[in-house]
Structure 1
Amino acid sequence: MPADNHTVFDPATYILTGIPGTEESHVWISISFCLMYVVTLFGNSLLLFIILTEQSLHEPMYLFMSMLAAADLLLSTTTVPKMLAIFWFRAGEISFAACLTQMFFIHVSFMAESAILLAMAFDRYVAICDPLRYTAVLTKSVIGKMGLAVVTRSFCTIFPLVFLVKQLNFCRTNLLPHNYCDYMAMARLACDDIRVHVWYGVAVAIFVTGLDAVLIAVSYGLILRAVFQLPSKDARLKALHTCGSHVCVILMFYVPSLFSYFAHRFGHIIPGYIVNLLANLYVLIPPMLNPIVYGVTTKEILKRMIHVLFEMGQPDLHTLLKVWAYHGFI
């Protein structure tokens, strides 16, 4: 039960309320969330399987794709099952420790994805702007160190949030008007001054995620300059095509998170259910669409997906491959 507004208490449990104001639509929302989660699991698992089992795909670009797929699986699996439990079984109760754990992995996954997208932008920059040194710069050892740096930076950035939340005294309520444990949603339930929490969140947004976005933009600025200096139109189109899928993934990641960030900051003029729905975008949409984008736009991935989904040697498969190859799809 919610506590009295003036009584400090140690919240043993929280109650996640789902998306207040949309109770009549919970069934339809849950169906859409479930379908997106199934697509996320299938798409990212298939992408990981293809990259890890196909020796020819053990190259920097595909290894970064596998890292992104792993982060997508972690992000969606941390959040969506609990969302569905809330919608289907009204199982909104979650312990304080479990809530902190969920919050930690959500934000770690988000930070990791941002860093991986930066690494992928660097990969494209080297491949297009300095192709002769590509294999020398992006060795498997370097990629492994970059992966370790991604995990380390994400952990070191988010762990202080857990420490800060554990120091808070709660005196308002244990009802979280959300369908997962968000950092600021938890902090706002405290009776303490949370200015440190707010400014830490702003600092992370600017100096970590924001810096990643700026460096990605700079990388693509340099890439575009190099592309338009290429002598032939075909070379320019080929170079742009190799970056197209990555740009789509970047936009799908940063645009929803940007909308969610500003919706929380200006929540007093936006209906609460809109804020909550926007907050769900960056944990649902990018993990679902990333493998689809890479599967459709990357010929090597598409070929392997066809071979995995169809039995080898079937006439229909050979016919399909010939038709797609004729039209330039693969």
Structure 2
Amino acid sequence: MSNATVFVSEFVLHCEITSEIRSFTVVALAIIYLTTLFGNLLIILVIILDHHLQTPMFLCIGALAVIDVLQSTNVIPKMMALLLFDTSPIPYGACLLQMLLVFHLQTVEALLFTLMAYDRFFAVIYPLRYPQLVTGRTVWVGVLVCNIISGMPIIVYLIFITELSFCRTNVLPYCFCDYSTMVHVSCNENAKYFNFLSTIGITFGSTSLTVILISYGKIAHVALKISSKEGKKKVFNTLSSHLLVVGLFNIPLLTSYLLPGTGVKLTTEAYNTMVIVSIIVPPMLNPIIYSFRNKEIKTGICTFIKGIKAGPEIIRN
């Protein structure tokens, strides 16, 4: 077989899911996607329309909802088309864009989780100083900084990807355009490609998770001093729910990104499952965990629905 480098103008995605569960997977993805869109778009709309919800905490939740909509839309529709039509060619540029968007949005979401943990930390530990320490402007600056920080490693990924040459195949055995998969099928055998991935995973993922755990640990310590059992229960229920989402997002990603750099080769099924779960499940759960269980958000949604119902009556009158 010739090892001559060939110019690749497109890639062919091949999602390795058995035909027996393919139909079930497509239906499940459709339900997850529609649920994600409905929940997050509703949250965004309610926060925009209700000025009472335009506080730092809810602005963070709104920013998270925007990221979740973008990430799900970037990945799930293409996966569904791929499963329905078995293989799916995608232009080189579009594949590159999808891959970089996945990286960028993952990093921004990890940093945003950290920002939200800090917000709750200051609200609980320094309640009197909270209005001065955390403002709407602080949140917007924080979101901007999250995007800037996330963009830094993206430049390196872009350089690495343009270095890759393909002499064997342009078929990516994955459900969407993925950096690790692309490196595996390329002809380049340089450890730097996976070492950088592991370094970024440690730097952003582990650091973010550590900061979140420390913040929530201090909040839990303060909660233990609350005399009311109901108050303690409310705080710990909230913390456990938040940690569930953070864990679902961080642990599979960290595992899938760190192991290749240490020389451990995951099976295709294991890698696919971990990355896909961390990308599509948290965006569906985030509105439930961070919003629908919140009294202010529920009130805002009820007001919004009442306003829609009152609209036709006003017109008739």
Q: Which residue of 2 aligns with 1:320?
A: none
1:294–1:166: structure 2 CA closer, same or farther, 3 Å change rule?
same
- Once the two structures are TM-superposed, the CA of residue 130 in structure 1 deviates from its matched residue by 0.8
Is 1:156 the equivalent of 2:152?
Answer: yes
1:260–1:198: structure 2 CA closer, same or farther, 3 Å change rule?
closer
1:172–1:277: structure 2 CA closer, same or farther, 3 Å change rule?
same
> 2:201–2:258: 8 Å Cα contact kept in structure 1?
no
Q: Which residue of 2 aligns with 1:221?
A: 217
Partner SS, residue 185 of structure 2:
coil
Q: Which of the numbers 49, 56, 81 marks the counterpart of 2:45?
A: 49
AA matched with 2:99 = M
> 1:187–1:194: 8 Å Cα contact kept in structure 2?
no
Q: Which of the numbers 8, 12, 33 marks the counterpart of 2:9?
A: 12
Percent of aligned pairs with the same amino acid: 29
> 1:124–1:243: 8 Å Cα contact kept in structure 2?
no
TM-score (norm 2): 0.89
1:255–1:308: structure 2 CA closer, same or farther, 3 Å change rule?
farther
Aligned equivalents of 1:190, 1:29: Cα separation in 2: 29
Q: Which residue of 2 aligns with 1:86?
A: 82
- Once the two structures are TM-superposed, the CA of residue 303 in structure 1 deviates from its matched residue by 2.3
- Once the two structures are TM-superposed, the CA of residue 164 in structure 1 deviates from its matched residue by 0.8
Unaligned runs of 5+ in 2: 311-317
1:193–1:134: structure 2 CA closer, same or farther, 3 Å change rule?
same
> 1:10–1:170: 8 Å Cα contact kept in structure 2?
yes
TM-score (norm 1): 0.86
| Equivalent residues in 2 for 1:1-330, closer than 5 Å | 4=1, 6-18=3-15, 20-90=16-86, 92-261=88-257, 268=265, 270=267, 272-309=268-305
- Once the two structures are TM-superposed, the CA of residue 229 in structure 1 deviates from its matched residue by 3.0
1:293–1:30: structure 2 CA closer, same or farther, 3 Å change rule?
same
Partner SS, residue 15 of structure 1:
strand
Aligned equivalents of 2:87, 2:167: Cα separation in 1: 23
Aligned equivalents of 2:136, 2:17: Cα separation in 1: 50
Aligned equivalents of 2:31, 2:264: Cα separation in 1: 28
More displaced 10-residue stretch of structure 1: 193-202 or 274-283: 274-283
- Once the two structures are TM-superposed, the CA of residue 128 in structure 1 deviates from its matched residue by 0.7
CA RMSD of aligned residues (A): 2.3
AA matched with 2:180 = M
1:21–1:50: structure 2 CA closer, same or farther, 3 Å change rule?
closer
Aligned equivalents of 1:10, 1:128: Cα separation in 2: 57
AA matched with 1:101 = L
- Once the two structures are TM-superposed, the CA of residue 89 in structure 1 deviates from its matched residue by 3.0
> 1:104–1:159: 8 Å Cα contact kept in structure 2?
no
Q: Which residue of 1 aligns with 2:314?
A: none
Unaligned runs of 5+ in 1: 315-330
> 2:197–2:257: 8 Å Cα contact kept in structure 1?
no
- Once the two structures are TM-superposed, the CA of residue 269 in structure 1 deviates from its matched residue by 6.2
1:303–1:263: structure 2 CA closer, same or farther, 3 Å change rule?
farther
- Once the two structures are TM-superposed, the CA of residue 5 in structure 1 deviates from its matched residue by 5.2
Query: What per-residue deviation string (whole Å, max 9, x for no partner) do you get for residues 119-169 of structure 1?
Result: 000001101111111000001221111011011011112221011111122
Query: What per-residue deviation string (whole Å, max 9, x for no partner) do you get for residues 155-208 of structure 1?
Result: 112221011111122222101000101111111122122311111101101111
